[in-house]
Chain A
Amino acid sequence: GQQLNQSPQSMFIQEGEDVSMNCTSSSIFNTWLWYKQDPGEGPVLLIALYKAGELTSNGRLTAQFGITRKDSFLNISASIPSDVGIYFCAGQIGGSEKLVFGKGTKLTVNP
């Protein structure tokens, strides 16, 4: 099946620190999406990216669609306790409508 590698698997940081996570694939993607899942809830869409090289921000979150179309990163600046959760990347591989998900990055923020 299609491989989407998300790293790191987990992160433990102090409040106020910046965070970076990424997803890579051997396949070319048409779309990259980043989701956050709070405990007991469904994933919520944070940022959607549609073009290679695109850099998009949503508040303290910034995500980029890699120029090779095989990777994407998500940065969170000045983390706060409510940033805790699991972050998933997802994307549509070229030629397919099906969404492929990464395994998630679990973020813990210590106050």
Chain B
Amino acid sequence: NAGVMQNPRHLVRRRGQEARLRCSPVKGHSHVYWYRQLPEEGLKFMVYLQKENIIDESGMPKERFSAEFPKEGPSILRIQQVVRGDSAAYFCASAGGAEAFFGQGTRLTVV
């Protein structure tokens, strides 16, 4: 994963709670992508961020989901009032140029 750190690796939340997923990109990388993956399916683009800017959020659900990549600290994907359908693996990818490197993902389970 070339140094892309995601935490937690596994997260269990009850319906209605909030989930916060963190991604620390490769040192020096200024771009982060977030993807969602259901079992046996491909990667679905959610959001593309540069430090302090959202470049493309066309894959983000209109409600309950938000993402940020502050000047200091990790990128955060936040899901409010989680529902069972939010259960999935969430991957971030860190890019400093034409190549992107993925973290190991956070597996969110909503019970």
Contact = CB atoms under 8 A, between A and B. Distances in A.
Interface stretch (A17-25, A41-49, A52-60, A74-82): A41-49
Given A31-B98, A42-B91, A45-B99, A102 B1 contact: no
Contacts of B43: 43, 88, 101, 104
Nearest to A96: B56
Q: How large is the interface on A (under 10, 10 to 19, 20 to 34, 35 or more residues)?
A: 20 to 34
Contacts of B2: 45
A45 B95 CA distance: 12
Contacts, number: 58
A1 B105 CA distance: 25
A45 B101 contact: yes
Interface string B41-71: 1110100100000011010000000000000
A101 to B, nearest CB: 5
A30 B105 contact: no
* Secondary structure type dominating chain B contacts: strand
Nearest to B9: A40
B31 interface: yes
A102 B42 contact: yes
A88 B2 CA distance: 18
Contact of B100 (A41, A50, A99, A104): A99
A44 B102 contact: yes
Contacts of A30: 98
Contacts of A31: 98-99
Contacts of B48: 98
B79 interface: no
Interface in B1-35: 1-2, 4, 6, 31, 33, 35
A50 to B, nearest CB: 7
Given A42-B6, A48-B98, A99-B33, 11 more contacts: A1-B58, A33-B98, A33-B100, A42-B104, A43-B91, A45-B102, A48-B99, A98-B48, A99-B100, A102-B42, A103-B42
